[in-house]
Amino acid sequence: MSEAAGHGLDVVRNPRARRMRLSVDPRSGRVRLTLPPRASLRHALAWAEEQREWVARQRSKLPEVRPFVPGARVPWGDGEIEIVWPAGVARTPRLEGERLLCGGPREGLERRVERWLKREALALLSRETAEYAARAGVKVASVTIGDPRARWGSCASSGAIRYSWRLALAPAFVRRATVAHEVAHRVHMNHGPAFHALVAQLFGADPTPAREWLRRHGAQLHWIGRGAAEA
């Protein structure tokens, strides 16, 4: 938990930390100051203040903020869709080809677009989960979505699977490999050799490139739909 939210950074005491460390989360832009258990908070904050230039350099490398504004192009699977805000169109978003038409007042446009994207992402991920579950001969209790910073998917022992809705913004092979990964956990609740073999069998290919794509580009997905004020 943060000890210095008013200072614009998260302070975390880690029992395994041997020295102070600053880091910038590429998914959120938040600055984290990690401290050993007995380190002085006052001295740590003073040291962090001296690192302002380093923090600024790291933040300058963060992905570009891409809000849901008229004219914006949003990655959607293997393609893109353009947000169009025309007059005389219903406020509920409607996809026509590669154009997402969303009328109504300008205020709240971003929220309406995001709700549509999340609804479509849940439908897509639910279909693909059912497809892989049938292939694996397992049952899935439920499929839900969220917007976690650290995980793209999770599978509980109860059979409930939860995904980041932003997987729908990734290329289809990345999304499907992640779905295969979570469904495979319905058979193996571990990451042993048998689990990885099942993932590859369900996916029908080596999932390594998908994991590598998320490692290299996943942080960028978290900046899509964010406003400048959030950066």
Tens of pLDDT, residue by residue over 155-204, are 999 999 999 999 999 999 999 999 999 999 999 999 999 999 999 999 99
Q: Could you read off the pLDDT of 198-226 as tens digits, one per residue?
A: 999 999 999 999 999 999 999 999 999 98
Tell me which residue of 87, 117, 119, 116 sits closest to 104, measured CA to CA: 87
HSE-CB for 185 with a 13 A CA cutoff: 21
Q: What is the CA radius of gyration of the chain?
A: 21
Closest CA to 215 of 185, 174, 176: 174
Q: What are the contacts of 44-49 at 24+ separation with CB within 8 A?
A: 44/11, 44/20, 45/4, 45/7, 45/11, 47/20, 48/7, 48/9, 48/20, 48/22
**pTM (two decimals):** 0.81
Which residue in 204, 152, 150 sits closest to 175, CA to CA? 152
Query: Would the pLDDT of 130 be above 90?
Result: yes
pLDDT band at 9 (very low <50, low <70, confident <90, very high): confident
Residue type, 221: L
Query: Residue 56 has what pLDDT?
Result: 86
